[in-house]
Homo-oligomer: A and B are copies of this chain.
């Protein structure tokens, strides 16, 4: 009796398949004794309803797809934790997908999800500059989407973000107040999404303090660590900023490495502040000033919104939710 199923069980118990089904689905129209007998026998024989059959019938998968650019990253892994927490309480499971920031991977995965594989999608996107029609098809299939952190403005869906503009403004202003005259902005892609908003905060803070914006101080980096190291080394040596506002944590780390190697002292020669979810930021040398997004809470919020839509049959109004980041001023950005 290797592959047990509802029919075999029914035969062995001399009972109908419907009754068994009822025993497993919290149906009240069933005799308590019968139910117990079924469950006991099922457990003994290691029977559980087959998910694919159930899902095929119900058109429900009890699965959430989570799409992120990276997994091994403090921000995203904490956000995933938050999503998982909510999903678990609802009896949902997480199908995880990493895009590596490659738009095509995102598209291919989303298309794959087009057919009942997941009941909803939570994603942080990677392809702002592209055509997002592939996402519109999900609507037709009634697969709701919630964006978090990195969103597509042109897609109508629930969105969970942080007050990036304000944080960036505050961080830049902090550097200025602490004495910096030449604050550089580190970014991976200045023309899209997050990099853009954060840059606006940076620019406006400069303007407020009557510091002329200098395009050379916007340092556009890549996703390759070695390349970034070179770019930053060159920038620090040639442009010689006295402050760094980094929109991405790994660029701040790269800055630390470069400074260690070429003998620039943080914060004496250069003050640094960065977006970062690194939990040991206070233990760095020097402790890194950070703008820390509430990653876990963002995950929780995104998942909660998704369940709102799911449970209201897709009729919930789309909303944008902005959570607040926290500014932690530490030694890396404090003047003498």
Q: Which A residues have a C-beta under 8 Å from some C-beta of B?
A: 2-3, 46, 48-53, 55-56, 61, 63, 66, 70-74, 77-78, 80-81, 84, 93-98, 111-112, 114-117, 137, 140-141, 253, 256-257, 260, 278-280, 282-287
Contacts and interface: CB of A to CB of B under 8 A. Distances in A.
20 contacts: A48-B115, A51-B116, A52-B56, A52-B116, A56-B56, A72-B74, A72-B77, A72-B78, A77-B77, A84-B96, A84-B97, A84-B98, A93-B95, A94-B96, A95-B95, A253-B279, A253-B283, A256-B280, A256-B283, A285-B287
For A49, A50, A77, A283, the residue with the greatest tally of chain B CB atoms inside 10 Å of its CB is A283
B46 A114 contact: yes
Contact of A52 (B61, B78, B114, B256): B61
B56 A81 contact: no
Nearest to A277: B72
Given A46-B114, A94-B97, A77 B71 contact: yes
A278 to B, nearest CB: 7
A109 to B, nearest CB: 8
Nearest to A280: B253
Given A80-B71, A280-B278, A50 B116 contact: yes
Given A93-B95, A93-B97, A98-B84, A48 B111 contact: yes
A202 B152 CA distance: 52
Contacts of A2: 140
A70 B80 CA distance: 11
A287 B284 CA distance: 8
A309 B24 CA distance: 32
Given A51-B116, A71-B77, A71-B80, 20 more contacts: A46-B141, A48-B112, A50-B56, A51-B115, A51-B117, A52-B56, A52-B61, A52-B117, A72-B77, A72-B81, A80-B96, A93-B95, A94-B95, A95-B96, A253-B283, A256-B280, A257-B283, A280-B280, A284-B285, A285-B287
> Which of A71, A94, A260, A287 has most B Cβ within 10 Å?
A71
A320 to B, nearest CB: 25
A234 to B, nearest CB: 21
A270 to B, nearest CB: 15
A134 to B, nearest CB: 10
A115 B50 contact: yes
Contacts of A114: 46, 48
Contacts of A95: 63, 93-96
Q: Which 8 residue pairs across A and B have the least CB separation, nearest first?
A: A285-B285, A72-B77, A52-B56, A52-B55, A96-B96, A72-B78, A48-B115, A77-B77
